[in-house]
Amino acid sequence: MVFSSGVFLFAFLPCLLILYYCVKALSVRNYILLAASLLFYAWGEPLFIFIMSAAIVINWLIALLMTSHKKLWLIIAVCLDLSLLGVFKYASFIAANLGRELNIALPIGISFFTFQMMSYIFDVYYGKSKAQKNLLYVALYISFFPQLIAGPIVRYNRIEGEISERNENFNNFPDGVRRFIYGLGKKVLLANFLAVIADNIFTYIINPSVMMSWLGAIAYTLQIYFDFSGYSDMAIGLGLMFGFHFEENFNYPYIASSVTDFWHRWHISLSTWFRDYVYIPLGGSRVSKARHILNIFTVWLLTGIWHGANWTFILWGLIYFIVLLIEKETRIIAHMKIFSHVWTLLIIILAWVIFRSESVSQGINYISGMFGMNSNAFYDGGFIFYIKGSWIVLIAALIGCLPFMGKMIARVKWLEVSWLALVLAISLCEIISSSYNPFIYFNF
């Protein structure tokens, strides 16, 4: 089940809200949310619900056993959680590289809920939270449906208080609805349309022209932002509807003035997770220069691997390692001033091409085409056709990457209400009348 589906919008969410607010006792409300979350996940993955449930119970038990031999139990928990990822996400990839065939179905969102389980274990180990005796609380934290399958990655120490004691009120609820509608519009009206352009150019057009190649790369750059940030907006909005406050996951990343700045704005919950649970425990920058470089390399290698079982994701992570190291060591961006945004966007777009490609060779070939190295035309009739049919959405998407429009609309209450009503109405009509694409990050 996805947030932009008719089943979720017209059945699951309304029924859950009615049932939830008809009950006064918080403990009962938590049981309702847990049952709804398990149903939400089991809707398309009925067998994998047992795997996730077993993993939750095991991590809960290990946290309780951390009263003694903490480091040993931490190692056991991390090994078990990484094994879960290894078997379901990477075993087929490893087998293929060894010349063997192995097909294992990938549970949706396994990287997200596995990292949340590890976050709970780490927080208990470092003393940021006490081991939770109530299995319900841990199960609800890990399986809570708004952030279960595509994030944001929520830290246990930042949400445990709201599981046991929270105040749902009429200030949070309208804010949640508002945030959800914005996210829905991003997904249905922008990301889905951009996906058609990107998929057609990347998949079906052989030897596209230079301009067509750039159009496909830019379309995917915009698609993945509106797809993922739209999901995060909907997750944050749903959390608010039920009294939970999730931290921001995106902060207009495409206005970044450096690649370092970009990763302070993009998928914030993931980058801070690696910072707090990998980079800092390894010593961070408080070590020798060689060790510091190794720490950065480790983080970005793991970041690439986390995203998927393909050499393209590993290369994508290593590209950012190299670029970030150059920025850090040379301070070149500090001297570029006006060109810093151009440099940053160029790196981001080229990296997304590698990320989107089916193989490294395809990605390199596509980038070669973007710079006219494949003896392809500068532009062709297909490029003109796509521009004529999509220029309005492309302009809207480019404007949507900037913060000024949202701030301007939010200043005038009646204008924002009217805008939200329009976005919701058009989004619902689009959902009813056409098919939708699943969220990109469901694959991770």
Contact between 278 and 298 under an 8 Å Cβ cutoff? The reply is: yes
Contact between 226 and 400 under an 8 Å Cβ cutoff? The reply is: yes
* DSSP summary character for residue 86: I
**290 and 345 assigned to the same domain:** yes
Q: Using N-to-C axis directions, what is the helix angle for 192-199 and 210-241, rounded to 10°? A: 150
Number of domains in the chain: 2
Structural domain containing residue 408: 173-443
Residue 180's pLDDT is: 96
Contact between 195 and 186 under an 8 Å Cβ cutoff? The reply is: no
Residue 439's pLDDT is: 65
Q: C-alpha dihedral over 285, 287, 289, 295, to 10 degrees? A: -60
For residues 70 and 72, what is the distance between their CA atoms, to the nearest angstrom? 5
For residues 245 and 307, what is the distance between their CA atoms, to the nearest angstrom? 25
Contact between 444 and 317 under an 8 Å Cβ cutoff? The reply is: no
| Cis peptide, bond prior to residue 152, ω within 30 of zero | yes
H or E, element range at 317: helix 311-330
Residue 410's pLDDT is: 76
**197 and 307 assigned to the same domain:** yes
In a domain, residue 37? The reply is no
Spell out the residues 6+ positions from residue 223 whose beta carbon is closer than 8 angstroms to its own: 190, 191, 194, 195, 198, 440
Strand, coil or helix: 106: coil
- Tell which of 165, 189, 212 closes a domain: 165
Residue identified by tokens 């959405």 is: 393
**94 and 203 assigned to the same domain:** no
* Cα angle for residues 115, 250, 271 (degrees, 5° grid): 40
Say whether 307 is catalytic: yes
- Tell which of 98, 132, 165 closes a domain: 165
Strand, coil or helix: 281: coil
Residue identified by tokens 């408080």 is: 286
**117 and 224 assigned to the same domain:** no
**208 and 137 assigned to the same domain:** no
- The pTM assigned to this predicted structure is 0.92
**197 and 336 assigned to the same domain:** yes
In a domain, residue 12? The reply is no
Residue 206's pLDDT is: 79
Distances (CA, A) of 187 to 1, 181, 367, 396, 407: 15, 10, 27, 13, 20
Residue 334's pLDDT is: 63
Pick the catalytic residue from 69, 307, 335, 341.
307
- Tell which of 132, 165, 198 closes a domain: 165
Residue 76's pLDDT is: 95
In a domain, residue 331? The reply is yes
What tokens appear for 208 in the block?
């596209």
- Number of C-beta neighbours around residue 406 at 10 A: 15
**181 and 197 assigned to the same domain:** yes
**261 and 393 assigned to the same domain:** yes
In a domain, residue 10? The reply is no
| CB burial of residue 317 (10 Å; 0-12, 13-18, 19+) | buried
**396 and 323 assigned to the same domain:** yes
**408 and 279 assigned to the same domain:** yes
Could you tell me the mean pLDDT of each successive run of 10 residues in the chain, 444 residues long? Answer: 89 95 92 95 85 94 93 95 91 87 84 93 92 94 91 88 83 91 95 93 85 95 96 95 93 93 95 94 90 94 92 96 89 73 93 95 93 82 87 93 83 84 92 70 59
